[in-house]
Chain A
Amino acid sequence: MENVRKIIENFTCEYVENYKKTWLKAKLSSKDDLLNLSEAIKKEGLRSLSTVSPTDFLEDNIMEMNYFFEDLDTKRNLWLKVDLPRDKEGCKIESLTPLFASANWHEREAFSMFGVQFLNHPDLREIIKSEDFKGVYPFRKDFDWDAHEKNQTQNIQQIVDAFKKEQNENEKDLDPDSSETILNWGPTHPASGPIRLRVHCDGEEVISIDPDIGYVWRALEHLVTKKDFVGAIVAVERLCFMDNINSMVGYCMAVEEIAEVEITPFASWMRVLLGEVARVSSHFMGLGGFFNNMGLHTLGMWNMDTREFFLDFLESYSGARIATASIEPGGVRYGLDMSMFDELQKALDKFDNSVGEVEAVFVKNPTMKLRSDNVGILTKEEVHEFGLSGIVARASGVKTDIRIDEPYAAYGELDLEYITQEKGSAKDRFMMLFLDLKQSVEIIKKAKAHIEKAVADAKMNPTKDHMVKVPKKLPKGEAISRVEWARGEVLMHLVTEEKAKTPYRLKMRAPSFNHTMMLNHLLKGQTLADIPLIFGSLYICQGDLDR
């Protein structure tokens, strides 16, 4: 940490300060220093760039760029800020993509949403947003959304025209005599979901893949700024429904940090419990999806059977199966009726009874091993370079898990260990998913026992302790929070204004964005049959890919 501080202090900074346990927060005075500084810290070991998040301050007429650098090995993180002028001509900065491969799509996103020009970016095309936003930057504070909405018919026409044009010109650049063609993989493809991969292939062989994303773009980051701090949870949880609890936890932690509120131990244990239940239900779908993509639906069905029991618990606790909306700033939303633990126990028993069979038939399946053992290998180096996280990173042997690195809720009181695999192939990611699932169930058991004991000892009051009051109006502030989501690291960057009722800016860094970036890298030179397999093993959800 000290080394990083020394490096930064070589440059002119407005401030350098410690932030949380593992973070260093600094603001550069001049944007010209950015490239040199990042080169220096890359040498020091902060090799992955987590995300790039511009904040648009209309009144001060500046565009504040936030860079989040991470070192997955030694857990040192740097939050670097630099100011840009916000007018469209002057809003330019050197691209970090040549240094950090993971910056690629994040910079493209910042470019398409805020109009920040990145110099020397190799491929600065617009991403995510639909055709009618071409050339305008919807997340800028002075963008007139109402005026845009008035021309809805025209906008749709524009999208349709672009759709048609692309279809007609799809294979224009290809040599008509060769056997090369472009396959449109999605958005109606059975294995893809709402994403489109433009697969450039020659017969069965894949030449390159260009993912076209944004089919479920809901502009969530903008949407939360129109809702109040409590109402924003319904937008945040819709990041992805498969694991909605942990994304809400991340958002609520950021709000609590700004409001300077401490939640009760009961609430933090409940966050662990509910979060792990959501993680389990997500992993069940992920495991099933991996096999579904190889044409075998049995595991998906069996998992769905067990998953229903965990959803039953969520439904009893919150009143909804997957859209639970059950974490609020200040704690958890409902008190706990201890009889609900019977239902959880039922789910745990069901899991214990069925996990052996799943392990024997599917996890040790020889055909699966044959199929996926040497496919889609990600090395440790690539994990660092592309800023991958969660299951995918751990499958390659990188020890990263926010629950241990930067404990939140009650994870600090649990003894967790990193679970890793060595090779980083598709099979290892599947194995990792399965082991993580087992670990999650163990955590649920521990958390359940802890809560039960504390309630029996009258240390916790399950009906009253669940909430601490958070003021409706928050002071001016800024916070980041990281959580280990089912798919990987979610980083929430929340900015508030003085006496604000709504968030000023919320950046959600979602793991699937980085993982989808890997598709072209992994699939080049493979065959068509590997596309669904690798796609499934990367555990991508379009919800958090597009936001």
Chain B
Amino acid sequence: MILQILNRTLRVAKALMTPSPANKDVRYEAMHNPSRYRGEHRVDYETCIGCDSCNKICPTHAITMKKFPFKKQNIVPEVSLSVCIFCGLCEDVCPTKPEKSIILSGGRYDMLSGGWHEDQNDFWVHTDVPQSYIDSRLEDEEATRVKKELATKKKVAEAEAKKKAEAGEEIKKVETTLPDFNKGVLE
């Protein structure tokens, strides 16, 4: 019995020979870096189509959709890191191809904030859309709107012209004016 105990005791001492696996300073680097680590989100506002499906599937309601003044694809997800449980369902469900618009994989793991409830309240992955992008989107939209307007007007005019022509009246030129670009759009 006593010999057995001594034997066990000495065998434990074998651990002294094995080097410890704690060989990195984990304050600065991770011990294991998987490619699919579900960490901090990255949202690509340019490819996002604003389908709202990430918001719908989120089991913890961590995602809110930020609204933009332009009309189409005008919502982009923002994630509250203090609510998110990093399950990655939003990434799974995102329909954009080939790159998903919301990505957790390979994200950062060290997400720290102040401990006050207020600090955690505004602990978000904000989708910072630059003003220039908003402006360009607005301009694009305006341009397409105008184009469409023009096209419809033209169509209407043509149709009318056709009618008139059929009726044997004189063809009048349709005057079109371009609307003021920057007015009344940003409201």
Q: A residues bordering B, Cβ < 8 Å?
A: 227-228, 230-232, 234-235, 298, 302, 305, 308, 312, 315-320, 323, 325, 333-334, 357, 360-362, 364-367
Q: Is the CB of A319 within 8 A of B36?
A: yes
- Kindly state whether residue B15 has any CB partner on chain A within 8 Å: yes
* Residues A230 and B89 in contact in the complex (CB < 8 Å), given A360-B11, A361-B12: yes
Contact code string B56-99 (vs A, CB < 8 Å = 1, else 0): 01111000000000000000000000000111110010000000
- Kindly state whether residue B34 has any CB partner on chain A within 8 Å: yes
Contact code string B1-32 (vs A, CB < 8 Å = 1, else 0): 10011001001101100000100000000011
- Kindly state whether residue B105 has any CB partner on chain A within 8 Å: yes
Q: Is the CB of B104 within 8 A of A361?
A: no
Q: Is the CB of B11 within 8 A of A319?
A: no
Query: What are the nearest 5 A-B pairs in CB distance?
Result: A231-B59, A319-B38, A319-B36, A316-B34, A325-B87
Compute how far the CA of A308 lies from the CA of B58 in the bound complex, rounded to whole angstroms.
29
Q: Is the CB of A308 within 8 A of B87?
A: no
Q: Is the CB of B36 within 8 A of A317?
A: yes
Q: Is the CB of A302 within 8 A of B15?
A: yes
- CB-nearest residue of chain B relative to A362? B8
Compute how far the CA of A317 lies from the CA of B92 in the bound complex, rounded to whole angstroms.
14
Compute how far the CA of A298 lies from the CA of B13 in the bound complex, rounded to whole angstroms.
11
Nearest Cβ in chain A — how far from B16, in angstroms?
12
Q: Is the CB of A231 within 8 A of B8?
A: no
* Residues A318 and B32 in contact in the complex (CB < 8 Å), given A234-B87, A366-B8: no
> 8 A–B contact pairs at CB < 8 A?
A231-B59, A235-B59, A298-B12, A302-B15, A308-B21, A315-B34, A325-B87, A325-B89
Q: Is the CB of A316 within 8 A of B57?
A: no
Nearest Cβ in chain B — how far from A325, in angstroms?
4
Q: Is the CB of A312 within 8 A of B32?
A: yes
In the complex, besides A231-B57, A235-B59, 15 extra interface pairs with C-beta distance below 8 angstroms are: A227-B59, A232-B59, A234-B60, A234-B85, A234-B89, A308-B31, A318-B38, A319-B38, A320-B86, A357-B11, A357-B14, A361-B8, A362-B8, A366-B1, A366-B8
Compute how far the CA of A308 lies from the CA of B21 in the bound complex, rounded to whole angstroms.
10
Compute how far the CA of A357 lies from the CA of B18 in the bound complex, rounded to whole angstroms.
12
Q: Is the CB of B59 within 8 A of A318?
A: no
- Kindly state whether residue B136 has any CB partner on chain A within 8 Å: no
Taking a contact as CB atoms closer than 8 A, the residue among B21, B59, B89, B104 that contacts A305 in the complex is: B21
* Residues A333 and B92 in contact in the complex (CB < 8 Å), given A234-B59, A323-B87, A357-B11: yes
A contact residues around B4 at 8 Å (CB)? 366
- Kindly state whether residue B177 has any CB partner on chain A within 8 Å: no
- Kindly state whether residue B176 has any CB partner on chain A within 8 Å: no
User: For window 84-123 of chain B, which residues contact chain A by CB distance below 8 Å?
Assistant: 85-89, 92, 104-105
User: Which of the listed residues B5, B21, B36, B60 has the most CB atoms from chain A within 10 Å of its own CB?
Assistant: B36
Compute how far the CA of A312 lies from the CA of B33 in the bound complex, rounded to whole angstroms.
9
Taking a contact as CB atoms closer than 8 A, the residue among A228, A319, A362 that contacts B34 in the complex is: A319
A contact residues around B1 at 8 Å (CB)? 366
Compute how far the CA of A361 lies from the CA of B57 in the bound complex, rounded to whole angstroms.
49
- Kindly state whether residue B35 has any CB partner on chain A within 8 Å: yes
- Kindly state whether residue B37 has any CB partner on chain A within 8 Å: yes
B contact residues around A234 at 8 Å (CB)? 59-60, 85, 87, 89
* Residues A312 and B11 in contact in the complex (CB < 8 Å), given A230-B57, A323-B86, A325-B89: no
B contact residues around A367 at 8 Å (CB)? 5
Q: Is the CB of A320 within 8 A of B38?
A: yes
Q: Is the CB of B37 within 8 A of A315?
A: yes
User: Which of the listed residues A228, A308, A316, A319 has the most CB atoms from chain B within 10 Å of its own CB?
Assistant: A319
Compute how far the CA of A53 lies from the CA of B169 in the bound complex, rounded to whole angstroms.
84
A contact residues around B87 at 8 Å (CB)? 234, 323, 325
B contact residues around A364 at 8 Å (CB)? 8
A contact residues around B5 at 8 Å (CB)? 366-367
Compute how far the CA of A364 lies from the CA of B4 in the bound complex, rounded to whole angstroms.
9
Taking a contact as CB atoms closer than 8 A, the residue among A227, A318, A323 that contacts B36 in the complex is: A318
- CB-nearest residue of chain B relative to A353? B18
A contact residues around B58 at 8 Å (CB)? 231
Compute how far the CA of A361 lies from the CA of B12 in the bound complex, rounded to whole angstroms.
7
Q: Is the CB of A316 within 8 A of B21?
A: no
Nearest Cβ in chain A — how far from B107, in angstroms?
9
Compute how far the CA of A230 lies from the CA of B14 in the bound complex, rounded to whole angstroms.
48
Compute how far the CA of A312 lies from the CA of B1 in the bound complex, rounded to whole angstroms.
40
A contact residues around B11 at 8 Å (CB)? 357, 360-361
User: Which of the listed residues B57, B59, B88 has the most CB atoms from chain A within 10 Å of its own CB?
Assistant: B59
A contact residues around B31 at 8 Å (CB)? 308
* Residues A325 and B88 in contact in the complex (CB < 8 Å), given A227-B59, A319-B104, A357-B14: yes
Compute how far the CA of A539 lies from the CA of B85 in the bound complex, rounded to whole angstroms.
27
Compute how far the CA of A227 lies from the CA of B11 in the bound complex, rounded to whole angstroms.
52
Compute how far the CA of A315 lies from the CA of B33 in the bound complex, rounded to whole angstroms.
9
- CB-nearest residue of chain B relative to A238? B85
Compute how far the CA of A158 lies from the CA of B39 in the bound complex, rounded to whole angstroms.
39
Nearest Cβ in chain A — how far from B102, in angstroms?
14
Compute how far the CA of A361 lies from the CA of B15 in the bound complex, rounded to whole angstroms.
11
Taking a contact as CB atoms closer than 8 A, the residue among A235, A298, A319, A365 that contacts B88 in the complex is: A319
B contact residues around A318 at 8 Å (CB)? 36, 38
Compute how far the CA of A385 lies from the CA of B1 in the bound complex, rounded to whole angstroms.
38
User: For window 134-152 of chain B, which residues contact chain A by CB distance below 8 Å?
Assistant: none
- CB-nearest residue of chain B relative to A228? B57
* Residues A316 and B89 in contact in the complex (CB < 8 Å), given A227-B59, A231-B59, A366-B5: no
B contact residues around A305 at 8 Å (CB)? 21
Compute how far the CA of A361 lies from the CA of B5 in the bound complex, rounded to whole angstroms.
9
Nearest Cβ in chain B — how far from A476, in angstroms?
23
Compute how far the CA of A371 lies from the CA of B137 in the bound complex, rounded to whole angstroms.
75
A contact residues around B8 at 8 Å (CB)? 360-362, 364-366
B contact residues around A320 at 8 Å (CB)? 37-38, 86, 88
Nearest Cβ in chain A — how far from B38, in angstroms?
4
- CB-nearest residue of chain A relative to B85? A234
B contact residues around A312 at 8 Å (CB)? 32, 34
Nearest Cβ in chain B — how far from A282, in angstroms?
19
